[in-house]
Amino acid sequence: MSDIRPFRAVRAANAVAARVIAPPYDVMSEAEARALVAQNPDSFVRVSRPEAVLPEGVDSHAPEAYATARREFDAMVQSGLLTRDDRDSYYLYGQTMGEHFQVGLVAAFSVHEYDTNLIKKHEFTRPDKERDRVAHIDATNCQTGMVFLAYRDQEPLNSLIVQGTRAAPEWRVTTEDDVEHVLWRVSDPALVDAITRAAAELPCTYVADGHHRSAAASIVHRERAGMPGQHAWFLAGLFPASTLQILAYNRAVKDLFGHSPASFLAAVRAHFDLDVLSAFGAAGPVPEGRGYVTMYLGGTWYKLTARDVPSDPVAALDVSMLQDRVLRPLLGIDNPRTDKRIDFVGGIRGWQELVKLVDSGSHAVAFHMHPTSLDQLFAVADSGNVMPPKSTWFEPKLRDAVAMHPLD
């Protein structure tokens, strides 16, 4: 079952939501965060990336940075940019990106269910990133970043979410990336109770994105054991799987690990059928399905067709086959999580970004993946395994300051 609770959110005030809600902390560089705050001083980036308002060169993990996060958070509350709702509520968060629309339930979820794997994971986390989020939660005493959860579609929860969106929203704004965001507040006791009971019928949920946020919430709860507060619960948005959109998560490698282009191509042919893409349609040189990868090398696009696809749910992922057959044995990338020779490029940037990287000389070869599916993500999580790093890129991203979970 899924144990969820309504809560009194701290959130962007209705009249200023367009200025306050911000991209999640982990999708921007420090330079991008500074530029965003310079352009819009009301952005919640002041809190989520406090180094953006500190002198350049200040360590983003220094105590000064976390103290600044708390100071900026309090200032946004005092100025009216952030407000606290007066009673426990659920929230519905809708996003429209082009033709794609998704809406999910924002609630407080059980840390115990995360710890006991009723909320299932598919990625390893890094201790340094966990501690960063723990320090941020401790400083602000608030979970400011939303964990992105998914569930296999199930009635009546789907219908209750739709029912909640028929009311007038708190706000509706379009952000600089042309994504429309809408927030509904659900405080009617009957609807709140119905949502709670419907969620209890879900056998499990899945972390789609936000593994470090959820892991940090678990650490905070453990470290605050016996202390008062709402630390046994964490902030998340829960979305039906049928509405979600996963884009490719591409790879670019800086050198060929001693290979010449010709010897590298010959080595790739040992594991993939290799064809030159001399022409491609309007979608560009992207893989048309699972089992395919496209590769850009020396000004030419190639199509790589996998041989002998494994039956294991992790090994059968396109990202796994590329890692196991090319990146590790041919390019010497044993640990893509830490190797500085590989960069990961979100599919939102398009195949053109891969061409740019290679043609600029900063990278030697780039790979365009086919998006991992939700079914594959669920199969890996159900098996108790994890995916290779950077296997999924969800769009649109859930914004910060839409609804936040204070721990007091």
Residues 6+ apart with CB under 8 A from 307: 271, 272, 273
The reply to whether 235 and 334 lie within a common domain is no
Within-domain flag for 379:
no
The average pLDDT across 324-337 equals: 96
Q: Look at residue 1 and tell me whether its pLDDT is greater than 80.
A: no
Within-domain flag for 388:
no
**pLDDT at residue number 82:** 98
Q: Look at residue 343 and tell me whether its pLDDT is greater than 80.
A: yes
At 160, phi and psi to the nearest 5?
-65, -35
Q: Look at residue 369 and tell me whether its pLDDT is greater than 70.
A: yes
Question: Which CATH number fits the domain that encloses residue 314?
Answer: 3.30.1760
Within-domain flag for 376:
no
Q: Which residue in 246, 214, 239, 241 sits closest to 93, CA to CA?
A: 239
Q: Is 234 helix (H, G, I), strand (E, B) or coil?
A: strand
The average pLDDT across 114-125 equals: 95
- Cα angle for residues 321, 346, 126 (degrees, 5° grid): 75
Give yes or no for a contact between 76 and 20, defined as CB atoms under 8 angstroms apart. yes
The average pLDDT across 250-266 equals: 98
Q: Look at residue 354 and tell me whether its pLDDT is greater than 70.
A: yes
The reply to whether 113 and 214 lie within a common domain is yes
The reply to whether 197 and 227 lie within a common domain is yes
DSSP class of residue 404 equals B
Looking up tokens 């499990």, which residue turns up?
Answer: 204
C-alpha distances in Å from residue 373, one per residue of 87, 286, 379, 395, 399: 38, 16, 10, 13, 23
The reply to whether 128 and 55 lie within a common domain is yes
The average pLDDT across 231-250 equals: 97
Asked whether the CA dihedral 149, 151, 153, 155 is positive or negative, the reply is negative
The reply to whether 40 and 99 lie within a common domain is yes
Within-domain flag for 108:
yes
Q: Residue 404, exposed/middle/buried by CB under 10 A (0-12, 13-18, 19+)?
A: buried
The reply to whether 316 and 269 lie within a common domain is yes
**Percent of the chain having pLDDT more than 70?**
100
**pLDDT at residue number 126:** 86
The average pLDDT across 191-201 equals: 98
**pLDDT at residue number 278:** 86
Residues 6+ apart with CB under 8 A from 282: none
Within-domain flag for 377:
no
Within-domain flag for 353:
yes
The reply to whether 166 and 229 lie within a common domain is yes
CA–CA distance, 33 with 264 (Å, rounded to integer): 38
253's enclosing H/E stretch is strand 249-253
The whole-chain average pLDDT of the chain stands at 96
pLDDT digits (tens, 9 = 90+) for 273-329: 999 998 888 889 999 899 999 999 999 999 999 988 998 999 999 999 999 999 999
Q: Which residue in 333, 320, 332 sits closest to 369, CA to CA?
A: 320
Cβ–Cβ contacts within 10 Å for residue 158, how many? 16
Give yes or no for a contact between 241 and 150, defined as CB atoms under 8 angstroms apart. yes
The reply to whether 137 and 23 lie within a common domain is yes
Give yes or no for a contact between 106 and 403, defined as CB atoms under 8 angstroms apart. yes
The average pLDDT across 202-227 equals: 97
Burial 25-52 (b: 16+ CB within 10 A, else e): bbebeeeebbebbeebebbbbbbbbbbb
**pLDDT at residue number 289:** 92
**pLDDT at residue number 173:** 98
Give yes or no for a contact between 286 and 368, defined as CB atoms under 8 angstroms apart. yes
The reply to whether 224 and 101 lie within a common domain is yes
The reply to whether 231 and 265 lie within a common domain is no
Report the domain count for the chain.
2
The average pLDDT across 229-254 equals: 97
The reply to whether 320 and 187 lie within a common domain is no
- Choose the weakest-confidence range: 117-121, 122-126, 232-236, 240-244: 122-126
pLDDT digits (tens, 9 = 90+) for 65-114: 999 999 999 999 999 999 999 999 999 999 999 999 999 999 999 999 99
Within-domain flag for 302:
yes
C-alpha distances in Å from residue 273, one per residue of 253, 259, 284, 367: 21, 19, 20, 15
The reply to whether 51 and 160 lie within a common domain is yes
Give yes or no for a contact between 121 and 386, defined as CB atoms under 8 angstroms apart. yes
Domain encompassing residue 342: 249-370
**Percent of the chain having pLDDT more than 90?**
94
